[in-house]
Chain A
Amino acid sequence: MLSKKTSNTIAGIAFLSPNIIGFLCFTTIPLVFSMVLAFSNWDLTLHNMFHDEAIKFVGLKNFIRLFQERDFWKFLGNTLFLMMGAPFAIAGSLIAAILLNKDLKGKKSGVFKIILPGAILFISCVMLTLVGMGAAALTILIVGAVGMTLISGILFGQTVYRTLFYLPNFTSGVAVYILWKKLYSPQTGPVNAVLDKPVSVVGNIVNATPSWVLLAGEWLCLLIGLFIMMKVLKSLFNHWKEGDIGSCGLVLALFFVMLPAFFAILWAPTAAMKLAVPAIAVVLLVFHLATDLKTRDFPCTIWHGVGSGFMIAMISLIPMFMFIGFAAAIAHLADITRQTDFSVLPPPEWLASYDWAKPAIMIMGLWMAIGSNNMLLYLAGLSNVPPELEEAADIDGASPFQKFWHVTWPQLAPITFFIVVMTVIGGLQGGFEMARTMTQGGPFGSTTTLSYFIYNEGFATGRLGYSSAISWVLFIMVFSITMINWKFGSKYVND
């Protein structure tokens, strides 16, 4: 007779065995195999049935070659560039969740329930009879769709809107990418058909404005960006002084806050700006380092508040990048209108153009990512905010914005941290499906991300060893972010 403990162990392993065998075959062994490959020169053009060379181990050669390859840095840059859409998507998810979190059923007034949908139905019916079929049928179709959404929204509450918001995310895949490829088609796609008029209007305005006004506008945008940076630096150092953020958190946050200054070097339209913006940023930083770093009122451990620092940096990145982007956009528009002889500004070529392919993918990503799992997580988080806290804020006479900033947002901080980490991990590995279905990684590699690079090297070019080495570099990046999450995710929750 077996003891209870042994029988438990046998049963435990028996129940686990189907899963663990598969796990060994398709995860563990490949993982080890891949690591070995990363140090080998296995290349299908060198080692195949016609040309059989022995596979050699080449040590770190693959990695050295990788870091020396310009393309690798370019593709890494592409991956990071595409990830810059993520803060906007997360903010969008949060706004959508806040809007959906209201009690939308309007129980209090039965009259309201009938009047509004009735009015919409009435209006669409009138329009239908007045305008008839033909081109205007689209208007009626859209009005009818909105009307139906409203009616069902009023009758069934947030579920209706939540479903509609979530659908782009749920259906995202090859089919939807092909759809967007057609939407973006420069000549026949509806995106440009819609944009044609506004773009030419903007072009005319830019043409009509004197160039010194444009230049002033560019400077103004950059200065606003720098002003935000100043404010953020001040608040970061204040937090550091008060012991809310430890030294490591400060350094991490400073790195992210200074990032726009680096991008300004790349994007700023004139040479003066390329110099001035980073210079002012560095001066601001040095000024704070010199004046604020001496005293510390409340000491704390150096690892304290890394999450908070990270969050502050992330939030401030959104407006800073927006204003730098505005400045670059104004300069670009002025350039294009000056160079081309067209009296009308042509709309962008989207996926076919080197500069617009990435923004095009980011816009599509925004469409897919607002109503994503993140929105659902925020919804769950919002419903967990204790109502007493909000009531207390109401009694204190807090404005809705104050209430959000001081009551709701801190409660959502752990979820936000989780979402940011997951988004970064996903973003590093992402972009393959879009690149494969929409652009083939082009034009000129402008939409090739690391994942597409790995696929290309491994399955198209056949350099298996090299491809494995790239995938291990990716793995190390993902792994270090996971480590940050494990180390600080739980601490951040307790802050």
Chain B
Amino acid sequence: MSMTENSKRDSVMNVSKGRTLKREIMGISLLHILLAGMSLLFMLPFLWMVLTSLKTLAEVGLPEWMPAAFQWKNYPEVFDVIPFAKFYWNSILIASWVTFLQVFTSSLAAFSFSRLNWPGRDKVFLMYLATMMLPGLVMMIPNYQIMISLGWVDSFVGLIVPASFSAFGTFMMRQFMMTIPTSLDEAAEIDGASKWQLYWDVILPLSKPGLITLTIFTFMGNYQSFFWPLVMLKSIDKYTLPVGLLFFDSTRGQTTHLLMAGVTMSVLPMVIVFIIMQKQMVKGIQLGAVKG
């Protein structure tokens, strides 16, 4: 009696299990289709961008998205029309310098804030945090006057130096260094290591994931930065990509196909970097904000 009941219940459960499994698969497939549809919606502007960049000038105004034949020669042509290679190089050069300096100064300050005990340390740190909330616009006019008096207007130094100190970077590196156990410091001290050795040989290698995240963020942020280069740069051969693209748009905006080729080329590096580095970046964003 009990045996049959048990087996009955089992079979009933199996049936319902089968049903729920079926429903689950249905649900997941629907979800996948929904998500793929949404992805398409997000990607359509980029699709149009790439397809337009491969059109001829005559095809640009047509409602058809597809060109009759892919005009790959548009891409080299961009380099003939405007000094695009120069813009690329300027952007990368400036972003690299800023990234290097910012990561260096930030990690030094973060080391001081997280590993060294000195009176008033936490108050100073709080002040740093507060400056993260300052609207950058407030400082723009005085900073520009400072640049004039230093003679740094229309020079790379004027773009690199002011951007090399970041409260955000310091904050992020400090958050990261706080997670490294302090027993390491004591061990290093017993071995007679100086503070510099502690920083350079112990803490910095252990902060590698944090350093990588900060490097990507800073580099990408400066690759995109617009306001300061726009204000500072006067001669075309010093333009960075964003300013250069704006110049391209305002002088030769009618050649949409070439403009889109330029836009594609300036977006592409970011897409590649993001796809390769996305794991670190997602973690960095979540760490920086959730703990803050």
Contact = CB atoms under 8 A, between A and B. Distances in A.
A20 B131 CA distance: 12
Contacts of A170: 220, 270, 274
Q: Is the interface of A mostly helix, strand, loop or mixed?
A: helix
Interface string A437-480: 10000000000000100110011000010011001101100110
Nearest to A428: B135
A367 B242 contact: no
Given A19-B165, A137-B66, A29 B142 contact: yes
A474 B139 contact: no
A170 B28 CA distance: 28
B289 A373 contact: yes
Residue of A135, A141, A380 with highest tally of chain B CB at under 10 A: A380
B263 A18 contact: no
Contacts of B164: 22
Interface in A161-214: 161-168, 170-171, 173-176, 178-183, 187-188, 190, 193
A12 B118 contact: yes
A30 B142 contact: yes
A67 interface: no
Nearest to A422: B289
Contacts of B144: 458-459
Question: How many A residues are at the interface, by size bracket?
Answer: 35 or more
Given A15-B111, A377-B289, A429-B135, A22 B165 contact: yes
Contacts of B116: 8, 11-12, 15
B110 to A, nearest CB: 9
Interface string B84-118: 00000000000000000000111011011100111
A182 B55 CA distance: 14
Nearest to B290: A380
Contacts of A302: none
B93 to A, nearest CB: 18
A99 B36 contact: no
B134 interface: yes
B82 interface: no
A16 B60 contact: no
Contacts of A168: 42, 45
Contact of A146 (B28, B40, B142, B220): B40
A371 B39 CA distance: 10
A376 interface: yes
Nearest to B106: A19
Interface stretch (B3-11, B73-81, B207-215, B225-233): B225-233
Contacts of A402: none
A29 B146 contact: yes
Nearest to A92: B38
Contacts of A20: 109
Given A15-B108, A29-B146, A99 B35 contact: yes
A348 interface: no
A81 B241 CA distance: 30
B34 A99 contact: yes
A468 B111 CA distance: 35
Contacts of A467: 141
Given A178-B246, A454-B137, 15 more contacts: A11-B112, A15-B199, A16-B109, A34-B142, A104-B35, A116-B29, A146-B40, A149-B39, A160-B39, A173-B242, A174-B246, A175-B263, A175-B266, A190-B63, A468-B142
Interface of B: 21, 24-25, 28-29, 31-40, 42-43, 45-49, 51-52, 60-61, 63-66, 104-106, 108-109, 111-113, 116-119, 121, 124, 128, 131, 133-146, 161-162, 164-165, 167, 170, 195, 199, 220, 224, 226-227, 230-231, 241-243, 245-246, 249, 256, 259-260, 262-263, 266-267, 270-271, 274-275, 278, 282, 285-286, 289-290
Lowest 10 A-B CB distances belong to which pairs? Answer: A22-B165, A12-B118, A30-B142, A15-B112, A33-B142, A174-B242, A19-B109, A164-B39, A173-B224, A30-B139
30 contacts: A11-B116, A11-B118, A11-B195, A15-B116, A18-B105, A18-B109, A19-B109, A23-B167, A26-B143, A29-B146, A96-B38, A106-B28, A112-B28, A138-B64, A145-B43, A146-B37, A150-B33, A160-B39, A164-B43, A178-B246, A178-B259, A190-B65, A376-B285, A377-B285, A381-B290, A429-B136, A458-B141, A468-B138, A474-B135, A482-B133
Interface of A: 8-9, 11-13, 15-16, 18-20, 22-23, 25-27, 29-31, 33-34, 37, 96, 99-100, 102, 104, 106, 108-109, 112, 116, 134-135, 137-138, 141-142, 145-146, 149-150, 153-154, 159-168, 170-171, 173-176, 178-183, 187-188, 190, 193, 367, 370-371, 373, 376-377, 379-381, 415, 418, 422, 425, 428-429, 432-433, 436-437, 451, 454-455, 458-459, 464, 467-468, 471-472, 474-475, 478-479, 482
